[in-house]
Amino acid sequence: MTELRLADVDPARFPADAVVIGIYQAEDDASEPLVLADGARTVAEAFGGRGPSLVETLRLLGATGEPSEVTKIASLGAVTAPLVAAVGLGKASALPDHGAILRRAIAAATRALAGSETVAVAMPIMDRDAIRAVAEGCLLGTYQFSGYHSRPPRGRRTPVGTVTLCIAGSALDDGAAEAARASVVTAAVTLARDWVNTVPNEQRPPQFAEAIGQAATAAGLDVEIMDENALAEGGFGGILAVGGGSSQPPRLVRISYRPNESASTIALVGKGITFDSGGLSIKPAMNMWEMKSDMAGAAAVAATMVAIARLRLPVSVTAFVPIAENMPSGTAYRPGDVLRMRSGKHVEVLNTDAEGRLILADALALACESSPDCVIETSTLTGGQIVALGQRVAGVMGTPQLCDRVKVAGERTGEPAWPMPLPEDVRTGMESDVADISQVNSGMDRGGHMLQGGVFLSEFVPEGIPWAHIDIAGPSYHRGEASGDWAKGATGVPVRTLIDLIEDLAARPLAE
C-alpha cells in the first residue's frame, strides 16, 4: 500500500518524481480562465522566468480546472520534480463546502501518476476536514487489484510508492492525526475492495468466513463463526434456505469490539451473498458475473470492524455477517416454500432471487436480541435502488433520526445516501395467505422494489430499536473505468460512511 507522509517543505524544491498542484476554474465574473490554488505559489514562481507563466502553459495545454481533470507538464528544471501535475478543483467558491471535490481530485492525480515512486502534493489546506479529504484521496487513488494475471497487463504501471503532503508547520499536528486516520480508513476500504473483487470460485461461504475471521482476529477482535450445524440449532431458517442449493454451506460470522469504556452499543449487519445466480428464479446470463459483488455489504461491515479496532473508538460494536451462496440445485429452496426464521416469524418465498433479505432477516433478529442502542445494516439489496437513485447515491430507510445521521455522514465522506420512506401500502402488498409475510409483493409487482426490501427488513427489528438499512446496490460496484476516488470494480462503499457514523454516534449518541 502507498505510504503517506507529511512535511513542512517547499514543494518547488522537494526531491520527488512529480509534484501535484491545484487549479481552479475562474469565477463567472473573472477575466482569467484559470487560477492557481493555495499551495502552488512557489511552484508558479519557479516557472516565472521561463517563458509563459505556469497558468498560461496549463491553459495552452487545454487545462480547464474542471474537477479531477489532470494536466501534466515537464518542469524542465524549473522545480526539483521533473513533472508537475495540475488537477482541477472546480470553482474556488464551491470548494470549502465540498471535501469530496478535494478527495476525488487528489485521487485522480495520484492515479494518473502511477509509475512514479515519489509524489509531493501541494494543495489548499483550509482546515482539518480538508486535510482529511486530501490524505484519503492520496491513498484511495493508488488502489489496484492485483488480480490473476500471469504477467502484468499491458499499460499497467506500478502505483505511487510514497506520497508526501506538503503542509505548513502550524497544521502539522492536525495533519499527522488525520494522516494516521486516513491510513487506517483507506486500508479498510482496500480490504473491502479486495474481498469484493476476489473471484467467486475462490471465495465461497466457508472461505469468505475464514478470511473475515483472520482479518478480525489480527486486529484484536473477538470472532465466532457459526457453521451449518450451529445455524440449524439456532433456527436460522432464512440463511439455511438460501445456502441450501450450494455444495458449500452457509456461515454466520459474529465480530465483537469491546473497549474498556463505552457509552453506547451499536450492531452492524452486512449481506454476504458470495455469488447470486438467482437460485431457481435464475438471473439472465448477461452480467451475471458481477454477482460476485453481492457480498459487498458484508465486506464493508467486516472491514469497518477492523478499522474501528485500530482507531480504538470508545463505543461497543458487534457485527453480524450472514454468508451464503445462492445456487440452483436439487437441494435449493423453491418459490412457494414457507420458512421459519430466527425470530419465529414465517415467510412465504415467492422469488428465490430476493434472497438477501432472508439472510439479513435472520442476522437482524440475532443482532436485536441483545437490545443494542441502534442497528445499522448495509447490503446490495435491490436493483430498485439503482432505478431510483442511480449508481452513486445509496438509499437509506429506517428510523428517521438515524437515517438523517447516515445521510450527513455520507455527505462528509463523499459517499452520498438519501433517506427513503417505508409506506404502509407497500407492507399491505406483502401480505401472505399462508405465512406472516411474503418475501416480496404478493402480486409480484416490482413498483417500489427498494422500499419492499426495506419494509420486509423492518419486520425483523423490534419496535423501540433505532435502525437503518443502507441499500448500496449501485455505489458498491463501479462498472466503468476508475474515476476520482472510485476504482474500477469494487468501491468500498460504505466503509467510510460507517466509520464516520460510528465516530459520530460515539461522540453524540442518538438519545442526545
For residue 446, the SS3 value is: coil
Q: When comparing pLDDT for 501 and 98, which is higher?
A: 501
CA distances from 224 to 228, 252, 319 (A): 13, 8, 10
Q: Which pLDDT tens digit goes with each residue over 46-103?
A: 988 665 789 999 999 999 999 999 999 999 999 999 999 999 999 887 765 568 899 9
pLDDT at 93: 79
Which of 357, 405, 407, 412 is catalytic? The answer is 357
- Across the chain, mean pLDDT equals 94
189: cell is 476500504
222: cell is 473477538
Nearest by Cα to 70 from 21, 131, 119: 21
Which of 41, 283, 310, 392 is catalytic? The answer is 283
User: Is 151 designated active site?
Assistant: no
Average pLDDT rounded to a whole number, residues 220-249: 98
- The label of the residue with cell 475562474 reads 26
User: Residue 146: pLDDT above 90?
Assistant: no
Give the residue ranges of DSSP H helices in 341-448. 356-368, 383-389, 400-413, 424-428
Q: Which amino acid is residue 167, in one-letter code? A: I
CB 119 within 8 A of CB 4: no
CB 105 within 8 A of CB 74: no
Confidence of residue 282 (pLDDT cuts 50, 70, 90): very high
Neighbours of 507 (CB within 10 A): 12
Sign of CA dihedral 270, 274, 279, 284: positive
286: cell is 448477461
- The Cα–Cα gap between 243 and 462 comes to 26
CB 37 within 8 A of CB 59: no
User: Residue 442: pLDDT above 60?
Assistant: yes
Nearest by Cα to 264 from 114, 98, 466: 466
pLDDT at 53: 87
User: Is 72 designated active site?
Assistant: no
- The Cα–Cα gap between 511 and 303 comes to 27
Nearest by Cα to 467 from 379, 512, 410, 403: 403
Confidence of residue 128 (pLDDT cuts 50, 70, 90): confident
- What percent of the chain is modeled with pLDDT above 70? 97
Domains and CATH numbers, the chain: 3-167 (3.40.220.10), 189-507 (3.40.630.10)
Residues in the chain: 512
